[in-house]
Chain A
Amino acid sequence: MAEEKAKSIDNASLKMIEKAAKDGVNTAFDRAEAMKPCPIGMVGSCCKNCSMGPCRVPLPKSLEETPEDKRKRRGVCGATAETIAARNFIRMIAGGAAAHSDHGRGVAELFLAVAKGEASGYELKDEQKLLQVALDWGIEIGDRSNNEIAVDIGEKALSEFGKQEGEIDFLRRAPLKRQELWRQQGVAPRGIDREIVEIMHRTHMGVDQDYKNLLQQGVRASLADGWGGSMIATELQDILFGTPAPVLSKVNLGVIKKDEVNIIIHGHEPLLSEMIVAVSQDPEMIELAKSSGAKGINLAGICCTANEILIRHGVPLAGNFLQQELALVTGAVDAMVVDVQCIMQSLPDIAQCYHTKIITTSPKAKIPGAVHVEFDEHNAVESARAIVKTAIEAFPKRGSNIDIPKETTDLVAGFSHETINYLLGGIFRASYRPLNDNIINGRIRGVAGVVGCNNPRVTHDDIHVTMIKELIKNDVLVVQTGCSAMAAAKAGLLTPEAAKYAGKGLAEVCETVGIPPVLHMGSCVDNSRILMAVTAMVKEGGLGDDISDLPVAGAAPEWMSEKAISIGQYVVASGIYTVFGVNWPTLGSKEVTDFLFKDMEDMYGGMWAFEPDPIRAAHLMIAHIDKKRKALGIDKARERVLYDMDMRRELDAV
């Protein structure tokens, strides 16, 4: 009998999985065990785009397929396995790009309301970023007030979504060579919404039936996400709430406090949670909490809303995606406030076993069984107060079945690309030069972005942590976002002391600069910060002319969401080799998979790969980094040699 795979490497999670079983609570870990993935859908070979189907066109299991068999492998409409796999793949991109971009649109709407003075409680916190975006978009600065400039920025941002012609504006932030390449390939996005809608049109029954043409539209929509919707979300959130700078905090279920009102903020947008952070510090609210027997109000986060308030306020992380249900199982969460994305529908059911209130806040994301307190941006303080009060009222109703794991780990987060630039050069000459120099001299072998979700099909956190440890051991600096960063944080990799896991060269650099070998850059939309960091490396010089020349690689080893596919595709199309784990959604078509894994390298200098084993995946990334180092002529470490007089004479004699 095959050995049973461990559910998690995190002790706190394992304890809560055990408690859940005792409490009769069913979690994603149980459901994943009970329901095996459909083998046909998993590889992209099932189409349900019309009612003549669903049609299943799986690869034959064993025998080599004859051309005759292959011709027959079609849907009722005649769509080939290639068309079906490509359609399914780019519909995932559409879903992911829509999620990130609709988040961006929501931020832009709030931003404009704040700029116009119509959203009380918010302010424009980061003038520096406001000026930066104004310069980017050619918006007049002069003697205009911040609000006047912000109105123009907000209107411009909103217009990017519905733009029909030309190109989205942040594309011009990319290296010049990359911009030209996108234009040559015909994939420069015209507008954010347009590219997503076009995917839905092209993948409708009987429209685009050339898998390469379909995949190119996937690239275009993904770029509209990374260099469009996600980047707009990141930049405008920075102006509203501040650009992240290093903060100290803690991670894991142990941050939940037995004697305080615990409010868990879960989801992806920081708009409401920023206000909850402020309201929970309000003396009146703290008094109210005390009057119901609590010592205070304790906030913690799950998923990317957590990352957003961590990187700006140091609010602790309760855990990542697969810990959302487990947080409730502690019995000590008084309210879980959710907005959009990655929220399990099982939460209200689990909450019934305890006293927890599940509060939905977005009109876009309601769940039966949850309390709905709609977030009104024009009245955000009131919305936040109503939520905090609901949590306080729940506190005295706690049952006796409380067990909070002790585990917490320290972490440092908040490494925006602006902060990395500052840390490496200081206020007078902020610079990526030291990073490039240390890559050229070989102390740092390269940079890897390890990002993405959790997935109960693999051991929780294990794939992230194993991969990251292998990378840093081999002198690869790791940058992170999302749930992956939380996995690394729990393993203690986000502190400067983690240099002990790093190779000699990387450890030396980390100790000199005082940074961890693994840098937490933020939430999923903040993968746009990684795009900016690699662009800065190109523009600094010495490592080629384009992102595809850099010794860098990307990975989402425990991915599960459509957003991860969209991110992976814009990272690949930006020139970065990207490895995904778990499973790969186009394996049902060799042609489609070859296009993504091989042809894209010729077209974009970056390509996809699939490798579920984290060590092997790390070595694929390292091999790619080494390939790029060789092409740049920096494959041999060049230590500086100090010449004495004899050596100089010898040189002169040559």
Chain B
Amino acid sequence: MEYKIEKKPAPGRDEVEVLGDTFEEGKPEGEDVGKWRQKLGSREDKLKYLQNGERYWFSEEWFGSEKRKTPA
């Protein structure tokens, strides 16, 4: 995920750099509609997503309803 940095005027200072939007604008169109998996670029991103997003199967320490039980 690439973060966008925006410049904004600040009281008493000319401009400051702030973190921009982390969400997508409006509705994607054409080919991109719904294709969320392409947002994950590198293999590292993908593995991180698996451990976090698909934590039901791949997290080391988080097993949801099976938290206190022996992992499969």
Contacts and interface: CB of A to CB of B under 8 A. Distances in A.
B4 interface: no
Interface stretch (A239-247, A361-369, A480-488): A239-247
A76 interface: no
A429 B72 contact: no
Interface of A: 126-128, 131-132, 135-136, 141, 172-173, 175-176, 179, 242-243, 245-248, 414, 418-419, 421-422, 425, 427-432, 535-536, 538-545
B50 A427 contact: no
A131 B66 contact: no
B46 A131 contact: yes
Contact of A172 (B46, B54, B72): B72
A544 B64 CA distance: 10
Contacts of A248: 33
Given A243-B37, A246-B33, A430-B52, 16 more contacts: A127-B43, A132-B58, A141-B47, A245-B34, A245-B36, A246-B34, A418-B37, A419-B34, A421-B54, A422-B36, A427-B1, A427-B39, A427-B53, A430-B49, A539-B64, A542-B65
Contacts of A541: 64-65, 67
26 contacts: A126-B37, A127-B43, A128-B37, A128-B46, A131-B43, A131-B47, A131-B50, A132-B54, A135-B58, A136-B57, A141-B47, A172-B72, A175-B65, A176-B69, A243-B37, A245-B34, A245-B36, A245-B37, A418-B53, A419-B36, A422-B36, A427-B36, A535-B56, A538-B65, A542-B65, A544-B65
Contact of A247 (B33, B43, B66): B33
B49 A128 contact: yes
A418 B54 contact: yes
B70 A176 contact: yes
Contacts of A136: 57
B40 to A, nearest CB: 6
A131 B54 CA distance: 12
B20 to A, nearest CB: 16
B32 to A, nearest CB: 10
A414 B34 contact: yes
Contact of A422 (B1, B46, B53, B66): B53
B35 interface: yes
Given A132-B50, A136-B57, A175 B34 contact: no
Interface of B: 1, 33-37, 39-40, 43, 46-47, 49-50, 52-54, 56-58, 63-67, 69-70, 72
A427 B40 contact: yes
B30 to A, nearest CB: 10
A179 B50 contact: no
Given A414-B34, A430-B54, A175 B46 contact: no
A170 B23 CA distance: 35
Contacts of A173: 57
Contacts of B39: 427
B63 to A, nearest CB: 7
Contacts of B53: 418, 421-422, 425, 427, 429-431
B34 A247 contact: yes
A432 B49 CA distance: 15
What 4 A-B pairs have minimum CB-CB distances, sorted nearest first? A430-B53, A246-B34, A539-B64, A539-B56
A244 to B, nearest CB: 9
A182 B22 CA distance: 45
B66 to A, nearest CB: 5
A575 to B, nearest CB: 14
A495 to B, nearest CB: 14
Contact of A540 (B52, B64, B69): B64
Contacts of A179: 72
B25 to A, nearest CB: 15
Nearest to A179: B72
Residue from A126, A541, A542 with most neighbouring chain B CB atoms (10 Å): A541
A128 B39 CA distance: 11
A143 to B, nearest CB: 9
Contacts of B57: 135-136, 173, 539
A545 B67 CA distance: 10
B48 to A, nearest CB: 10
A128 to B, nearest CB: 5
A254 to B, nearest CB: 22
Contacts of B72: 172, 176, 179
Nearest to A423: B36
A104 B36 CA distance: 26
B27 to A, nearest CB: 10
Contacts of B36: 245, 419, 422, 427
Contacts of B1: 427
Contacts of A243: 37
A227 to B, nearest CB: 13
A136 B58 CA distance: 8
Given A127-B43, A245-B37, A414-B34, A539 B66 contact: yes
Nearest to A414: B34
A253 to B, nearest CB: 25
Residue from B33, B36, B37, B39 with most neighbouring chain A CB atoms (10 Å): B37
Contacts of A545: 65-66
Nearest to A243: B37
Contacts of B49: 128, 427, 430
A542 B43 CA distance: 32
Contacts of B56: 432, 535-536, 539-540
Contacts of A544: 65
Contacts of B37: 126, 128, 242-243, 245, 418
B53 to A, nearest CB: 3
